[in-house]
Copies of this chain bind each other. A is one copy, B any other.
Amino acid sequence: MDDISIRVLALLAPEGLDAEGQGWQQRKSVQTRIAILEAAVNCLRTHGYGRTTTQLIAEMAGISRGAMLHHYATKQDLIASVIDYTVYKRWEVFLDGVRALKDPARIYKMAGIEISWNSLQTPEYAAYLELAIAARTDPALAEIFLPRARRLDQTALAETIRTFPEWTHDLEGYALAMDYATATLAGLLINRDIWPESSQQVVREFLGKTIAMLRRGELNPPT
């Protein structure tokens, strides 16, 4: 992995999940926590936030509920960790996708959109989306979600731009492209079961064209 990707991921990395040079018990603990987080992610994406219970997470993680509450004393503690974990995973997938494209002209054509689309189709982003949506109407969740989400969003934006040399000197344009693509793709994710797949594909292709034109500066028509 290149230096930039490492730095970005280091800034986004969740705490308490690195077991380097620790004893066996510590490693076991980290292993269990990751199992819990994975279970929470799967629970969120398949059952939604409202139906995600501590009982279900514990079952999917393969441990007792009492054991889980030892690692995460309250549901809020667990959710807070899930937020960091999902954001980290999303950008890991994104940077992996970018890195896989050696061609400097990678952002032309649909490349950028496909990578974004892939990073938004992960189980982790599905879980993040459930939390983001639930936070809009759940004050208790919003209290722990919004500060983290805003900070992580800003960090990811400021750092991932480094992997796109062609955007480096146009932060505003990059932010617009990112927000625009993320918003449209998130909208597609919400309507995935309502709209025909063919329609969704057309929207994605059109979005790709739009972003490509935006990058080439061809989209400032007469207002």
Contacts and interface: CB of A to CB of B under 8 A. Distances in A.
Contact of A190 (B150, B186, B223): B186
A47 B140 CA distance: 11
Given A48-B138, A137-B45, A195-B153, A203 B180 contact: yes
Given A109-B223, A190-B186, A223-B109, A206 B176 contact: yes
Contacts of A150: 194
A202 interface: yes
Interface of A: 45-51, 109, 129-130, 132-138, 142, 146, 149-150, 153, 175-176, 179-180, 182-188, 190-195, 199-200, 202-203, 206-207, 209-210, 212-214, 218-221, 223
12 contacts: A46-B137, A47-B137, A129-B190, A132-B190, A133-B133, A133-B190, A150-B194, A176-B206, A183-B184, A186-B190, A209-B219, A213-B221
